[in-house]
Amino acid sequence: MEKKFIRVICPAPVLNIEDFDSVFNKSGKLKTCDRGHIRNLEFIALKNMIFEIIFENQNILKIKSTFYKGDNLYIDKRFTKEIKKFKFFKPKPILNKKRIISYFISAMGSKYIWGGNFYKGINKILKFYPSQNISNQNSRILKGVDCSGLLYEATNGYTPRNTSELINFGQIIKVENKNIDEIIKTLNPLDLVIYKGHVIIIFDKKYTIESREKFGVVKTKIKKRLLEISKEKRFTDNFYNEKSIVIRRWI
């Protein structure tokens, strides 16, 4: 059977379940866990990303990706266009430091959204999945980013989408057995400070930036933030366990 592919024509939610209506239900109440996260949201597919179609059920496509791990990935085909030939799988990456920093500035104050990586939100969700209650519209359109999603959108999908892959992304910066002041001297803007489940980005010589649960996208003085995370974890040269903090340089 000939393979079929789709190109994303506008930012689109990718879920790990086929039942989109259960997540974006008509009552307006999103399907969330007890912490308020939409656990069924994997990530936001960015414009021009390409996926292989595994099967189709009405408007919902099961898809396969060459750049995102996951056996159960689903997208609403109304966000996409079928294409005849597979040419590339990702949009052109953004690797200009000034452009990335400019994006961070524009995203400041955005809400933390589990699986989010398009901070302006997706208004077409309201068109395809209308709700009787518009009081939580920003959450419904997935307006916000999570920690790795902040970087993913800034680079237009160049960096790994999840922290589990960011841990091994780029060049390791050796910081084991160094004190905080010594570590700070080794840092460059856009270095990544990573531990299990979270990434902090070095914004400049004074501040970090990150999307934090309950805080959203915020800047913090580097020393304050590193001291804070080192209270229960330790800086290491390699990721050994959930207590490890590693620093990666990727640009």
Chain segment 52-85, per-residue pLDDT in tens: 999 999 999 999 998 998 889 999 999 999 998 7
Residues 178 and 244 in one domain: yes
Q: Identify the pLDDT of residue 104.
A: 98
- For residue 199, which phi and psi values (nearest 5 degrees)? -135, 135
Q: Identify the pLDDT of residue 88.
A: 62
Residues 168 and 114 in one domain: no
Residues 49 and 25 in one domain: yes
Report the percent of the chain where pLDDT is more than 70. Answer: 98
Last residue of a domain, one of 154, 184, 202: 154
Average pLDDT of the segment spanning 81-109: 89
Banded model confidence at residue 135, pLDDT cuts 50, 70, 90? confident
- Which token pair is 68? 């995102």
Flag whether 227 is in a domain. yes
Flag whether 88 is in a domain. no
Residues 147 and 169 in one domain: no
Last residue of a domain, one of 154, 172, 194: 154
Q: Identify the pLDDT of residue 98.
A: 97
What CATH number does the domain containing 44 carry?
Answer: 2.30.30
Q: Identify the pLDDT of residue 89.
A: 64
3-state secondary structure the chain: CCCEEEEECCCEEEECCCCHHHHCCCCCCCCCCCCCCCCCEEEEECCCCEEEEEEEECCEEEEECCCCCCCCEEEEHHHEEEECCCCCCCCCCCCCHHHHHHHHHHHCCCCECCCCEECCCCCHHHHHCCCCCCCCHHHHCCCEECHHHHHHHHCCCCCCCCHHHHCCCCEECCCCCCCHHHHHHHCCCCCEEEECCEEEEECCCCEEEEEECCCEEEEEEHHHHHHHHCCCCEECCCCCCCCEEEEEECC
Quote the CA–CA distance of 223 and 163 in Å, as a whole number: 22
The whole-model pTM stands at: 0.95
Residues 168 and 229 in one domain: yes
Flag whether 90 is in a domain. no
Residues 170 and 226 in one domain: yes
In the predicted structure, residue 124 carries a pLDDT above the cut 70: yes
Within 8 A by CB and 6+ apart from 204, the residues are 101, 189
Q: Identify the pLDDT of residue 1.
A: 73
Between 131 and 16, residue with greater pLDDT: 16
Residues 113 and 185 in one domain: no
Q: Identify the pLDDT of residue 132.
A: 78
Could you list the residue range(s) of the whole structural domain that residue 12 is in?
4-83
Residues 119 and 72 in one domain: no
Flag whether 31 is in a domain. yes
Banded model confidence at residue 28, pLDDT cuts 50, 70, 90? confident
Angle formed by the axes of helices 97-107 and 147-154, to 10°? 130
Q: Identify the pLDDT of residue 85.
A: 74
CA atoms within 13 A on the CB side of 141: 16
The number of folded domains in the chain is 3
In the predicted structure, residue 229 carries a pLDDT above the cut 90: yes
Residues 104 and 147 in one domain: yes
Residues 116 and 168 in one domain: no
Q: Identify the pLDDT of residue 224.
A: 98
Flag whether 92 is in a domain. no
Last residue of a domain, one of 49, 83, 117: 83
pLDDT in tens, 108-120: 999 999 999 999 9
Flag whether 20 is in a domain. yes
Residues 173 and 138 in one domain: no
Residues 191 and 242 in one domain: yes
